[in-house]
Amino acid sequence: MNYPENFHYTKEHEWVSVEGDVGTIGITDHAQHELGDIVYVDLPRAGTSVTQGKTIGSVESVKAVSDIYSPVSGEVIEANQVLAEAPEKLNDDPHGVAWLVKIRLASPEEIKNLLSAADYRTYIGVE
Amino acid sequence: MVFRGRLACYFGGSMVQSGTELKKTPLNSVHRRLGARMVDFGGWDMPVQYSGILEEHAAVRNSVGLFDVSHMGEIEVRGPEALQLVNYASSNNAAKLQVGQAQYSGLLYDHGGFVDDILVHKVDEDHYFICVNASNQEKDYDYISTVNLMKATVEFASDRYAQIAVQGPKALSTIQKLTKTPLETIRYYWFLDAEVNEVPARVARTGYTGEDGFELYVAPERAESTWDALLDAGAEFGIRPCGLGARNTLRLEAKMALYGHEIDATISPLEADLAWIVKFDKPDFIGKTALEKQKAEGIPRKLVGFEMKARGIGRDGYEVMDNGRPVGWVTSGGPAPSLGRNIGLCYVPTEIAQPGRHININIRNQPVEAQIVPTPFYKRAK
C-alpha cells in the first residue's frame, strides 16, 4: 500500500495532511486492514475542540471498537458525511475519500511530533 | 487507534497469560497456509477471519462455509449406568434420546448456574458422546467425573477428535459429494457414523449458525485431508473457510448462547430463556432443587434481544438503562450482517422484559435508544 509522502502519521495509525492552516485527518491503510470490515464511525461535530493525542471518536469493525486519537490540536470544521452512510468506504479508500474530519490547526508546530511516511512504514514493519 | 484484544472483548472466555503456549488444532497449519488472521481464543490459536467476516457470514447464509471447531471438547460416557449419569449431570432429558439422536442440554451446578452448555449424542444404549466448549472441557470432565457416583466410565476424548462444521444451504450438497451415505436421511439434531472422503466420520446435523448444516467429527490425523476435500467439493458453490468472527455474528443472529456471555456459573437456564432444556419431570438432576425454587419464587431477570434504534452499536458488557437507571447489561452485541441492523442480547429485570419496550444502551457514557425485540433475530426459511 502507498503511504503518501506528504501525510504525517501517528503510532496509533492516524494520518494528517496539512493544507494552509487546515489538517485533514484519517486512519491508515494498516489500521483499516487490522480492524477488518468497518461498520460504524463515530466522529466529532464541527466546532468541537480537539487536542493532539486525545480521543475524538471511534471506528467500529464487526468485532471491535477502536478509539481515534487526534494527530493535531484545533477545532473541527467538518466531519466526513460519507462515512455516516457508508462506513465501509474506510476499508476501500482510507487515505482518500474516507478521510474522517478536517481540523483548523491551533498549533501547526505539533506536526513535528508525528512520523514521516518512511518512519511509519518502518514502524508497522512494511518495506 | 489502538488494536485492543480484539476477541477478548468479543468472545470473553479465559484469556491466557502472555508467554503461555497456545494450544493448536490439527488444522493450525492449514489456517496459516490459507492466510487466516489468528487470535488467542481462550488459550487456543484460532482463525478469527480469512477473507473477511462479512463475506464469510454471507457465504454461510447463502451457500456454504467451513469452520474448524476442533478446539471444542469431547467427553464419552459409557457403561450400563451411562444414561443414569448423563441424566443426573445434565438438565435436559437424555432418556428421550434414541440412538443416533442429539440434544442440547445444560451441565449445571447445584445452585442452578451453568458449568457449561453441551450437546449430548446417544451413540448406543450404553454410550453417550458429549460435545462441550473448548475453554470448559477440563472443568466439565472433572465435574462429570466427580458426580459419577454410579460408576459409569467417563473418558476425556478431545484428543481423539477434530471437528469441522460445514454450514449453510449448500452444506449437504458439499458433503454429499464425499460420501455414499444419503445425508438427507439425517434429520435435524440427529447423527450417524459414516465415511466421508473415505475416512470414518461422525456426521451430525447440528450447528451454531442458524443455518442447515453438519458437524463432522474425524480423527485428528484425518482433519487436514477432510478439510481440503470439503473445500474442493464446495468450490462449485463458492465455499468459504470461516473464522470465529463469522461464527459469532451467525450465532448471535440465531440467538444461540455463548458461554461466558449469555450463560455462566451465575446464570440459570430459566433466566437465559433456556427453560426448554430443563426437564423438571425427569428423575433428580443437579440443580433441580435450586431451579424449582427459582421458578416458584419468580425469575428476577431475563435474557432478551434488542435492536438499536439510534446510531451506535451496543456491545458486550455495556450497561442497559431504563428511565435513566442501570438495570442490566449487554451479553453480546454487534452488527447483524444478514439484517442490516445492530442487535444484541441483554439481561433486564423480568418486569420490563417485553418485546416493544424501549430501553437505552449506555455507549461510552451516552444513553442510546434501543428496543426489545422478539428472538431469534434471524430464522432461516424452511
Question: Is pLDDT of B5 > 50?
Answer: no
B188 and B140 fall within a common domain: no
On whether residue B166 sits in a domain, the answer given is: yes
* pLDDT for B381: 85
B49 and B84 fall within a common domain: no
Grid cell 431469534 is found at B376
B191 and B239 fall within a common domain: yes
Mean of pLDDT over chain B? 95
* pLDDT for A15: 98
B130 and B147 fall within a common domain: yes
Say how many domains are in chain B: 3
* pLDDT for B2: 75
Where does a domain end: B127, B156, B185?
A: B156
The pLDDT confidence band at residue B4, using thresholds 50, 70 and 90, is low
* B180 in reach of chain A (CB within 8 A): no
Nearest residue, CB atoms, B1 vs list A27, A39, A62: A27
Q: What range does the domain containing B357 cover?
A: 300-373
* B365 in reach of chain A (CB within 8 A): no
Over range B97-107, report the average pLDDT.
98
On whether residue B124 sits in a domain, the answer given is: yes
pLDDT digits (tens, 9 = 90+) for A12-52: 999 999 999 999 999 999 999 999 999 999 999 999 999 99
On whether residue B266 sits in a domain, the answer given is: no
Q: What is the ipTM of this complex?
A: 0.85
On whether residue B244 sits in a domain, the answer given is: yes
Inter-chain residue contact B53 with A34, CB threshold 8 Å: no
Over range B368-382, report the average pLDDT.
95
- Nearest chain A alpha carbon to B6: A64
B237 and B193 fall within a common domain: yes
On whether residue B66 sits in a domain, the answer given is: no
Over range B70-95, report the average pLDDT.
98
Spatial distance between the Cα atoms of A69 and B252, rounded to a whole number of angstroms: 31
On whether residue B268 sits in a domain, the answer given is: no
- Percentage of chain A lying above the pLDDT 70 cut: 99
pLDDT digits (tens, 9 = 90+) for B137-182: 999 999 999 999 999 999 999 999 999 999 999 999 999 999 999 9
Question: Is pLDDT of B12 > 60?
Answer: no
Closest CA to B169 of B225, B122, B234, B123: B234
Residue B68 has which C-alpha cell?
474448524
| Domains of chain A, residue spans | 13-122
> How remote is the C-alpha of B29 from its chain's centroid?
24
Spatial distance between the Cα atoms of B72 and B67, rounded to a whole number of angstroms: 12
Over range B311-316, report the average pLDDT.
95
CATH number (3.40.50.620, 2.40.50.100, 3.60.110.10, 3.40.50.12280) of A13-122 reads 2.40.50.100
* pLDDT for B13: 38
CATH value at residue B183: 3.30.1360.120
* pLDDT for B6: 43
Spatial distance between the Cα atoms of B9 and B181, rounded to a whole number of angstroms: 42
B50 and B177 fall within a common domain: yes
B117 and B82 fall within a common domain: yes
Spatial distance between the Cα atoms of A116 and A3, rounded to a whole number of angstroms: 9
B186 and B238 fall within a common domain: yes
* pLDDT for A91: 96
Kindly report the CA angle at B59 between B311 and B249, in degrees rounded to 5?
40
B211 and B231 fall within a common domain: yes
| Residue B275: strand pairing partners | none
Nearest residue, CB atoms, B3 vs list A42, A60, A66: A66
List CB contacts (< 8 A) between A37 and chain B.
52-54
CATH value at residue B319: 2.40.30.110
On whether residue B180 sits in a domain, the answer given is: yes
Residue B221 DSSP symbol: G
B152 and B169 fall within a common domain: no
List CB contacts (< 8 A) between A13 and chain B.
1
Nearest residue, CB atoms, A67 vs list B2, B311, B313: B2
Give Dmax (Cα) for chain A: 39
* pLDDT for B15: 40
Q: What are phi and psi of A116, to 5 degrees?
A: -75, 170
Over range A98-106, report the average pLDDT.
98
B235 and B172 fall within a common domain: yes
When scoring A12, A59, A62 by the number of chain B Cβ atoms within 10 A, the one with the most, hence best to mutate, is A62
pLDDT digits (tens, 9 = 90+) for A35-94: 999 999 999 999 999 999 999 999 999 988 999 999 999 999 999 999 999 999 999 999
* pLDDT for B1: 73
pLDDT digits (tens, 9 = 90+) for B181-236: 999 999 999 999 999 999 999 999 999 999 999 999 999 999 999 999 999 999 99
Report whether B171 contacts B182 (CB < 8 A). no
The pLDDT confidence band at residue A106, using thresholds 50, 70 and 90, is very high
B168 and B222 fall within a common domain: yes
On whether residue B280 sits in a domain, the answer given is: no
Closest CA to B304 of B325, B329, B326: B329
Query: Which pTM was predicted?
Result: 0.93
SS3 category, B229: helix
The pLDDT confidence band at residue B11, using thresholds 50, 70 and 90, is very low
Q: A123 to chain B, minimum CA–CA distance in Å?
A: 14
- Name, in order, each residue with C-beta under 8 angstroms of B233's C-beta and a sequence gap of 6 or more: B174, B175, B177, B178, B239
* pLDDT for B19: 57
